[in-house]
Structure 1
Amino acid sequence: MSAMDAPVANSDTDAALKRRIDAARDATLTWLDSVAFAGGPKGVMRISHAHDADAWPGVLLPGTYNGILCRELIDGLDRLDGEDRATLVAWFEAFRTEDGRFRMTGMHDTAVFKKPDRDETWRYIDFHVTNYSLAAIEALNPDRIPNLIFARPWLDPIYLKAWLADRDLRDPWQEGNNIVNLASFLAGIERTGDAADQRAAAATFPILFDWHDRLQEPTTGFWGVGQSEPDRRLEAVAGAVHNYHLWYSRRRPIPYHERAIDYALTWNPAVFSACIDVDMVDLLAHAALLTDYRRSDIETWLHRMVGALLDAQNPDGGFCDEREGVRRQDGWVGGYEEPHGISNTFATWFRWIAIAMAADVLWPGWRHWRFRRSMGIGYRLGGVT
């Protein structure tokens, strides 16, 4: 079904849709207040009302970085004064290892899985948790210098090329996450490291682009094998949305961009999952900034998607990921879990990224959205608006 054939989520005028966004924002801020964790510094949040923080203290880390980034996006962090922010940054950094990685307490070897290779599994999880934790710290204190010692091996061109050669494009979604997270760390070294490391970090990006250029599928604009199969094509899209952040950050035109836009516009603008929904919006919202190709179709699609997202808000003001099944922390297969359908800070932040990106295209300058500054989910070309 194409975007033009999809049913309109509602018949709101733009003014009415804006009012709905404002009401949804107020409801979400109330919900975020409701998951505040009384046992920690101001700003620490449980991931949901189902989260028993005494039993699962490590889950406070994603609960909080998701919640902080959501607050920053839709409301700013003005309610946190300088002392609050410093205390919260110190709280985050208590989860940091000596070399700069962030880890959730309670995660152990026997309970995690992303790939059969245990080192690859931990690298994926560490990259993910670290990127989001650093983004939250950056929102609280943009001048804080990150500890990125763990990422320094990738400054070596031989090490980086060997690592890229091991990327498994049978799983482009997972690898897209690995690559955008690494790129974010390398950009951080380029921004904050000493002169030699800055030069080395800058030199990694031509290597990253060369790898992508050689392996991109020209008929789709994505990466991944077997893209003729619908499920594999969808996984390729989810991965490519992360890869594209490298192009946005360097202001480079994306090869075969029009093919990617064409595919995204075939996707029904309706709620599917927090990850897929934000990926499709991210792709199309950035396309609207970078090209005039099918601009009217993109705006129509985004307008319908905003309505669908608002319709999906839970009565308590938060958002869920999916409606059925069990939600787990990515990679922690034998750890914390909670039922799908309930509001959680992860899905609430992701849903608001999608709403804010769409609104930024439909009504430029209407709201002061504060997108994250570094590559990764929630990053927007141009940064804080």
Structure 2
Amino acid sequence: MISKSMMSGSRKHCFYFLGVLIFVAAWGFVSMRSGRIEITPPRILQTARRNASWRNALSPETTSMPVKSLRRSFSPTTVPGDGKQHVVILASMRTGSSFVGELLANNGDVFYLFEPGLAVHDALRQNGLSPAVVEHVYLRMLPKIFLCDFSDLDFYMEWLAARPLADLLKMAPRLYDLCVLNSTDPKGRCVITPEMATETCQKSDLIVIKSIRVPDINLLLPMVEEKTINLKVIHLVRDPRPMIASRAEALKWEVLDSKWNGVLPGKVQDVLCIYCKYNCQNLELGTQRPSLKNRYMFLRYEDAALNPRAAALRIYRFLGRDGGVPDSVQEWIDSNTGADKPGTYSTARNSREVYRKWRLTLPVEAARAIEKTGQCRGMMARMGYLTLEDKWHLRNMSRPLLGSLPPVNTDVEKYDWVWF
């Protein structure tokens, strides 16, 4: 038998939980009616902030960044929406994202930022903090940038100001314009303040961030589904074989040269497994999740390199710019994509030749090993990259390795029941 005291205790617990539920529901209703975004610190960051090693890592003796400004940037922030169009170029290292980014950066009406995650990386990794912490801080930084709220990002402004002017032009062209006109110091560095960045950002209807530090489109979904941010995603991919060849050159990996022993090093395999897995998942989610309908664009670097004008037109139409590609972007395409200017990180090169240059240098067996790693064969088939048919295929330029893009299922309505 159940005693009366037990029944009474159960009722008390029921009323207690009911009260909690009512409070949570009321709080959620008030938050929704307020029309604001609350950016709360991720759990891993809250733990790090309480830890003594976190405070020691950010002490004045161990970092060149102002500790006060770094700590302020981690505090919760409430920012209003502004109705602007915000864009992330979702890419990986050595996939042509700098080239594609220039198609937007050279539009004077676009507030473009090149890899703001570099500032977070430099500020935190030098103090021994893990990549997970860096990623969390970066993901909290993105909504603030999109909403032109630089009030707590003075560490980022100081990091930009410390760049050489040529780098600043690449990383933040609108801030470079402002700096050159108004505020260079005797040492040739810029004075960039949060107020300057906010004012310049607010004048732009289109805000673009090029990022190679967000591998998973799932991490961007909160901003896609938050109406005050209005985020669109350009998902840029490249054949994994030239991606690895280019990364090996940029990072001085002596693993794919003429002395290659036939086995991909562990770090190369790790890069490939992550790259191919997430690109498959990102394409699947981008074309089937209802909230990404009309907010997701898939672009192969090879298509942009072969026909940059067509790629630029696709991008601007995707962003709702019915006026087409601006003259300034057309001029940049004309003067840069036919140029013959060598350089690992240069964007002023003959794009038609660069996209297939790797075929002359990558060992055939290395190309075959890349094809067999992780989910790369499936990714290549899904995205129109052809595998090698024989040992002569790679060097024979008359035999293509870029095929047509297989049809993509965009009938998202029948998947509505899947998403909660």
Higher relative contact order (CA 8 A, sep 6+): 1
TM-score (norm 2): 0.22
Query: What TM-score do the two structures reach when normalised by structure 1?
Result: 0.23
Return the index of the structure with the highest Cα Rg.
2
Which one has a larger percent strand, Structure 1 or Structure 2? 2
